[in-house]
Structure 1
Amino acid sequence: MKDILDASALDVEARRILEMNDRGGYSVPTAGLYPYQWNWDSAFAALGYAMFDLARGWKELEVLMAGQWDDGMVPHIQFHKVDPSYFPGPDIWGGVGPVPSSGISQPPIAATMARLIYELDPEAGATPMRALYPSFVAWHRWFMDWRLDSGAVCLTHPWEAGRDNAPDWDGSLARIDPVGIDPYERRDTGHVDPSMRPRKSDYDRYLWLVKQGHDCGWDQARLLEINPFRMADPTMHFTLLRAHRDLAWLGRELGLDTASLPDWIAQLEAGAETLWNAALGAYDVRDTASGAWAQAVSNAAFLCWYACVDPKDSLATYARVQAPVRFGVASHDPESPAFEPKRYWRGPSWAMMNMLIAMGFDEAGLPEGAALRDSTARLIAENGFAEYFDPLTGAPAGGRDFTWTAAVWLAWCSPNVGRGRWAR
């Protein structure tokens, strides 16, 4: 980090990006490609804002949670203002919440980000956190009620994990025949090089799953019966387990009801065992219908430290996967034939995933955390605030002027702003 490019200029640029993507209480990930509010993007944005404006950080979380459905689910997209540049929009989803929305959720990191923001100023954070706490509990309960298989947290759509086109889903998606979807025109490939985006065959299946949910009114009991895509996933599992722990801490800190949380934590601690693929040497995705492993080492596998569960042999696997990687953590094993260094979740390095993984390393007292932070800082300093990056060359990919990359810089990478302020 000593020879990093001008960190002060990068701090200014990161703040400019956050303010540019601010839509008055909520953020978009980047203009054009993603013109709405995304769930876990907003959680990272909140932490980024808190580095220079605590009230704005809390506001981001408040607007996110205001879109919560009656059943407790917090959708992965909220369509505050209709924008024809994005597909699929609210008419395709048919969400049933207070704001036009999608019908699925995303990795529940908001409670963890809320804790980090709270710890910056507990006195200022007590009032907004007390108000948010019941909504977080209800969201976490929704996962526990509807998304467990043998104690492991499941997803019902690839977009729900945030890792849209990861090779982890290939085998299960291939069994879906996407009949009955209407003709459609993608908009994402008009903003970004198609070689960096999911393929049409993936999109057909994504839309078939959306149609299935739309047609049953997003009835979770009905979806449990009919949805052929139900994957026990380390991303969802480890982020929810960590969020349970952080929510319990916040509840104790503020004297609030934490009665359900210890049991939920225990359930997920036990459920983590069902995600360990000994033959792979990593936590892996499991198809709950067939019982088959994805046989894919993803960056989500290394969130085990972040969730404070037994990493087993994960450190050896991490060292192997990282051997050819120069920047961050590859989202898919570079030794795999499915590895594509610039195609979305099939190989690229993502700054925000690097941060979560490094948080776990730091808390476990492992030097890999500091090394990963320095690698990510160099990646951003040399290649800008892209959505994601080629892990071998550092080349920027996907969208530019990206909110969560700017937030990660301010909260974690910058030697002037957030670095070290919230590490525990």
Structure 2
Amino acid sequence: MTTSNKPLQTGRQPVLTDEEIRDQVREVLYKNMINGRKAGYDYHYTKPSPGTYPFQFFWDTCFHVFTLTALGEADMARKHIQSLFAMQRQDGFVGHMSYWERLWPGRFTDLLQLQPRDVLRLNKPHMSALVQPPLAAQAVLRIYRQSQDIAFVWQMLPKLKAYYKWLAVNRDFEQEGLLSIISPFESGMDWKASYDPVVGYNSGKAGPLLFWKVLQVDAYNFLKRYDLQAIYKGNRFIVKDAAFNTIYAQNLEVMAALCRLAGDSEEPYFRQQAVKTAQAVFNYMYDADDAAFYDLAGHDFQKLRIRTATIFFPVVLKSVPDDVCRQVMERHLLGKDGFHVPYPVPSLAVDEHAFDPDSSLYIWRGPTWVVFNWFMQQFLLKKGYHQEAQALLQSVKELVTQSGFREYYNPFTGAGYGARDFTWSGLVVDMLNRQQEPEEDIS
């Protein structure tokens, strides 16, 4: 795939130097870092932001690993992952939030994301009943690549194997290779517009009614006591998210690589699972007419034809044909089909009915998040789109220069919104490293 002659456009303004950015990211991470011991557990993690998100979140911790290792902090990253898996259940499950220092959930609605029995034991460390995108294998591999600490791989591999097998057994309801989420909060993109039809919201821009529609999903799961088979049978919110499953497929492949490194006999199992999932993503999610990968809803895998920024995530999978990758990228990310803004990548196409670029309780419905640029940069570099990858990096550098490390940004003005000192935006240091030296292939 050759470099496009249609580079992504960003604003043009002086930016912080790379070293200034690194220094500021390090400062934000250490400001948000917390460690201690509670009820026999040692914990060490970074809060995504000081006040808004005080807990240890699953995929946030993995993002922190990428950022810490980009700063040369492999030992600190190792402690983060060990903390993330400290309360892992015997069956392999790890919740999307771990409550350590502050044991009471931050919002009343978070109570609905706990097992009912855990509501009665909030005086002890506990986890939520939900999951998040399974980036953990990639995080462990990143730590190994920087530290060459094979003992750490040996320590974590049994935990990782149990975790990914739990996902395969409990969330691949149809055994097709695709995982289902049971709440909008499990994708990490809480109010994602493609979920609107599933929760019965058809009013476009978000409002209080959407809040209650989503709250009803978590209330339903809570009343079902998070019995996954009962929840699946009820079909209230069963969604196969394109980004979630892309990340799952990537991490299954990484699991095979970790098994190979550790001399573990289950390498073939994870490699087969990775192929199965990647093929299912292509078979079920891809729409040739729209050149897009859509989220799926319900038992019948109904395509949710709303153009969020995850419609092009699966192009990173090796099994997706080059001509399909080219069509998706040229039409959407590199073209002018709803994602062509001064500060890419918007979380929703600008011509979608629900698009809202401004600050709101209902996030992921228009503003730009650094994680999209970070995720797509890997693909652009591997496929020869060096100019476009540089443009995504330049956009992030301009955003943090202008507005600081914020939760999300206006895709037209670059104004920063949401939480301050938000660690996700620190992924810019990993982007800086990748632009200079792309990551090696794991296969």
TM-score by length of 2: 0.83
In the alignment, what sits opposite 2:428? 409
The answer to whether structure 1 residue 18 and structure 2 residue 29 are counterparts is yes
The DSSP-based 3-state class of the residue aligned with 2:85 is: helix
The correspondence for 2:273, drawn from 245, 264, 288, is 264
TM-superposed CA distance for 1:221, in Å, is: 2.2
Q: Over residues 227-278 of structure 1, what are the superposed CA-to-partner deviations in whole Å (9 max), with x where a residue is unaligned? A: 4110121011100001111121122122123232022112112211200123
The correspondence for 1:314, drawn from 315, 328, 336, is 328
Q: Over residues 364-399 of structure 1, what are the superposed CA-to-partner deviations in whole Å (9 max), with x where a residue is unaligned? A: 333332322222222222221001111121111111
Unmatched runs of 5 consecutive residues or more in structure 1: 177-196
In the alignment, what sits opposite 1:355? 374
The correspondence for 1:200, drawn from 208, 213, 219, is 208
Equivalent residues, number: 398
Letter in 2 for 1:317: H
Q: Over residues 270-321 of structure 1, what are the superposed CA-to-partner deviations in whole Å (9 max), with x where a residue is unaligned? A: 2112001233220001112454322112221222233334161211222234
Does structure 1 retain, via aligned residues, the 8 Å contact 2:105–2:111?
no
Does structure 1 retain, via aligned residues, the 8 Å contact 2:95–2:127?
yes
Aligned ranges 1:166-177 → 2 under 5 Å: 166-174=192-200
The answer to whether structure 1 residue 241 and structure 2 residue 249 are counterparts is yes
In the alignment, what sits opposite 2:287? 277
The DSSP-based 3-state class of the residue aligned with 1:365 is: coil
Does structure 2 retain, via aligned residues, the 8 Å contact 1:90–1:100?
no
In the alignment, what sits opposite 1:133? 157
Question: Against the structure 1 CA distance between its residues 137 and 200, is the aligned structure 2 distance closer, same or farther, given a 3 Å change threshold?
Answer: farther
Letter in 1 for 2:161: V
Q: Over residues 58-79 of structure 1, what are the superposed CA-to-partner deviations in whole Å (9 max), with x where a residue is unaligned? A: 1111111223233322211111
In the alignment, what sits opposite 1:339? 355
C-alpha separation between the residues in 2 aligned to 1:104 and 1:146? Answer: 12
In the alignment, what sits opposite 1:230? 238
C-alpha separation between the residues in 2 aligned to 1:153 and 1:337? Answer: 28
Question: Against the structure 1 CA distance between its residues 208 and 307, is the aligned structure 2 distance closer, same or farther, given a 3 Å change threshold?
Answer: same
Does structure 2 retain, via aligned residues, the 8 Å contact 1:155–1:161?
yes
In the alignment, what sits opposite 2:108? 87
Letter in 2 for 1:217: R
The DSSP-based 3-state class of the residue aligned with 2:302 is: coil
Does structure 1 retain, via aligned residues, the 8 Å contact 2:59–2:132?
yes
In the alignment, what sits opposite 2:7? none
C-alpha separation between the residues in 1 aligned to 2:253 and 2:130? Answer: 23
Letter in 1 for 2:332: T
C-alpha separation between the residues in 1 aligned to 2:30 and 2:57? Answer: 16
Aligned ranges 1:65-144 → 2 under 5 Å: 65-80=85-100, 81-83=102-104, 85-90=106-111, 93-94=114-115, 99-122=125-148, 125-144=149-168
In the alignment, what sits opposite 1:192? none
C-alpha separation between the residues in 2 aligned to 1:111 and 1:233? Answer: 19
Aligned ranges 1:24-39 → 2 under 5 Å: 24=35, 25-39=44-58
C-alpha separation between the residues in 2 aligned to 1:163 and 1:133? Answer: 28
Question: Against the structure 1 CA distance between its residues 8 and 198, is the aligned structure 2 distance closer, same or farther, given a 3 Å change threshold?
Answer: farther
Question: Against the structure 1 CA distance between its residues 99 and 214, is the aligned structure 2 distance closer, same or farther, given a 3 Å change threshold?
Answer: farther
The DSSP-based 3-state class of the residue aligned with 1:268 is: helix
Identity of aligned residues (%): 22
Does structure 2 retain, via aligned residues, the 8 Å contact 1:34–1:86?
no
In the alignment, what sits opposite 1:187? none
Unmatched runs of 5 consecutive residues or more in structure 2: 1-11, 36-43, 119-123
TM-score by length of 1: 0.86
Does structure 2 retain, via aligned residues, the 8 Å contact 1:303–1:360?
no
TM-superposed CA distance for 1:20, in Å, is: 1.0
Letter in 1 for 2:250: R
Q: Which moved more, 1:327-336 or 1:289-298?
A: 289-298
